[in-house]
Amino acid sequence: MVQFSEILRKKEKKPLSEPSQNHTRKEKVSVSSVRSVDEPIKPSGVDPQSTVRHDENIKTYYEQLLERARDVRDRVRAKQGIPASPILSILHPITIEDLIDQLYEYTVLYIEDNDLPSHSVCVTVACMKLAKGMGYDTKEILRLGLAAFFENVGMYLIPDTILKQEGKLDPRSLAVIRKHPELSAQVISQMGEAFHWLARVALQVHERSDGSGYPKGLSGDEISEFASIIGLVDIYMAMIRNRPYRKKYMETDAVKSVIGIDKGKFPNKIVKEFLAEISLFPVNSYVLLNNKAIGRVLSTDKNHPLKPVIELLYDGVGQKMKRGKIVHLSNSPLLRIVDTVGEEELP
């Protein structure tokens, strides 16, 4: 079995073993003889000609991660130990083969599972995408991915009667759920001393920069950067999925809530990178314009996240166009996206 001691070992003096300040470096990763990586990371974005719906490799990686997440759930509930190496063994090739963007696109566009294991996988992939955009090296991406994968394990100890409760949670149920960071930290701490940093990250995921979070009410630099990234992504991924007590939010509405209503709760540099990396309109998704035309997203622009390049497929009366028209929304001030459209909703 592959040993990941180099990834787990703490090198920094910071208590949570956060990423180094020099994120632009690209080091060869020695994961106890795991193959080294020295190739540069490719620019963010997915080639619109390479659609993930036909990429079995991407589907396989997702299914492997989901299987591991479900295994973790079952082990936590059975009070058995949870290993890290099987998860890292999947995250490592995803990272070094530069498949993070494509896997993120797949999880957002084609996965409708709403259970906790699926949520953990989605949060993990999205956090790795953010880490890549922030210039983290391969080892740091893997460390953050592992932290994201385990941050919610305490939720598996909360009764389903509470987790699946419809409507607004009563104060007692809400108090039980707010205990899950401490439960997560307790579960992870049982993995051994090498994982104590991971337990502290899990404990801080729901802390907020302005001091309004829980369970300790930490603020500012008291909160791990890992925890802030995971906390932001966790909220966003939960909002764009259906829940027993509400329907999912449109991606743009979710982002507005995260960076608007919750302004000041996360470090500015993380929010900025979130807006740049977590595309509101992923490549190959379908969108409805204000003139009622429907198009498919071909590429995104970090400088204009609300105005991707699209191919018009249906006109304003729902008629399929004989030949798709390419439109750069950043150059079309009269056109804007008003909603997303599922493939099953196409005319």
The pLDDT value recorded for residue 169 is 79
Q: What is the CATH number of domain 5-277?
A: 1.10.3210.10
The pLDDT value recorded for residue 21 is 41
In this structure, what token pair is assigned to residue 272? 């900025």
Output the CA angle 145-26-52, nearest 5 degrees. 50
Q: CA nearest 118: which of 157, 63, 161, 76? A: 63
Q: 83-140, pLDDT tens digit by residue?
A: 999 999 999 999 999 999 999 988 877 776 678 999 999 999 999 999 999 999 999 9
The pLDDT value recorded for residue 289 is 96
Q: CA nearest 232: which of 200, 265, 203, 204? A: 265
d(CA 225, CA 205): 10
Q: Domain boundaries in the chain?
A: 5-277, 286-345
Alpha-carbon distance values, 34 to 70, 167, 286, 296 (Å): 26, 48, 40, 40
Q: 125-154, pLDDT tens digit by residue?
A: 999 999 999 999 999 999 999 999 999 999
Strand order of the β-sheet with 320-328 is 320-328, 309-314, 294-299, 286-289, 337-341
Contact 53, 105 (CB under 8 A): no
d(CA 35, CA 91): 14
Output the CA angle 265-270-272, nearest 5 degrees. 105
